[in-house]
Amino acid sequence: MKNTIIASIIAFMLLPFMSLGQTNWKMSSGEVSFKIKNAGLTVTGRFSGLKTTLLFSPDKLAASSLKGSVEVATIKTGIDKRDKDLQEEKYFNTDKYKLIEIASVKLSKKGNQYEGLFNVTIKGVTKQITIPFECNQQGKNAEFKGDFSINRRDFGVGEKSMMMSDNLNVSIDIKATE
């Protein structure tokens, strides 16, 4: 009898989550890359160590949630000295701020694509950014892709510079399975 009551209480507590009908996607691979103009050249880079929580169903966007983070110290631009400089206090300050984080606030459908309002946190500063993205699902596999621009100075990354652009383009590409 006691076990039946405990099981009923647990089932009742989990009922709201089970009724959401969300697909919990598990990332199989993912990449976060960026491009920025510096000294007249386009510098490309990427972060590794991507971790995600992807609860997404196209027909239940209000209950869907997309979250991710990358380890800032994993930045790679092809030049080791530049990578080390970017980890210093003036830029990302990896001694104090270990992660760049992104979390959806609201998701909606826009034509054939989706759009999300996301909290983006860099160096302890959180800004809301609208990010268009695609979710292409084939059976039990899906790919989430989004491209957007941010102003690095809005997050305290570097100072005003005549050499380096304030704006950079970010691309996220995640392959996931159910």
Residue 14 lies in a domain: no
Residue 8 lies in a domain: no
pLDDT at 8 over 60: no
Residue 101 lies in a domain: yes
Residue 3 lies in a domain: no
- What percentage of residues in the chain have a pLDDT greater than 90? 85
pLDDT the model gives residue 22: 75
Residue 4 lies in a domain: no
Closest CA to 94 of 78, 81, 83: 83
pLDDT, one tens digit per residue, over 70-93 is: 999 999 999 999 999 999 999 999
Query: Distance between CA 107 and CA 118 in Å, rounded?
Result: 9
Total residue length of the chain: 178
Residue 15 lies in a domain: no
Query: Distance between CA 158 and CA 16 in Å, rounded?
Result: 45
Residue 40 lies in a domain: yes
pLDDT, one tens digit per residue, over 94-107 is: 999 999 999 999 99
Count of other CB atoms within 10 angstroms of residue 172: 22
| Domain that residue 90 falls in | 22-177
CATH number at residue 139: 2.40.128.110
Angle among Cα 52, 96, 156 to the nearest 5 degrees reads: 85
What are the C-alpha distances in Å from 119 to residues 21, 69, 103, 133, 171? 24, 12, 5, 15, 16
Residue showing tokens 């209480």: 9
pLDDT the model gives residue 21: 63
Q: What's the structural domain count of the chain?
A: 1
Query: Distance between CA 40 and CA 113 in Å, rounded?
Result: 33
Give the dihedral sign, CA 131/148/134/145: negative
pLDDT the model gives residue 7: 42
Taking residues 144-161, report their average pLDDT: 97
Residue 6 lies in a domain: no
pLDDT, one tens digit per residue, over 111-136 is: 889 999 999 999 999 999 999 999 99
pLDDT band of 4, cuts 50, 70, 90: very low
Query: Which pTM does this prediction carry?
Result: 0.85
pLDDT the model gives residue 16: 43
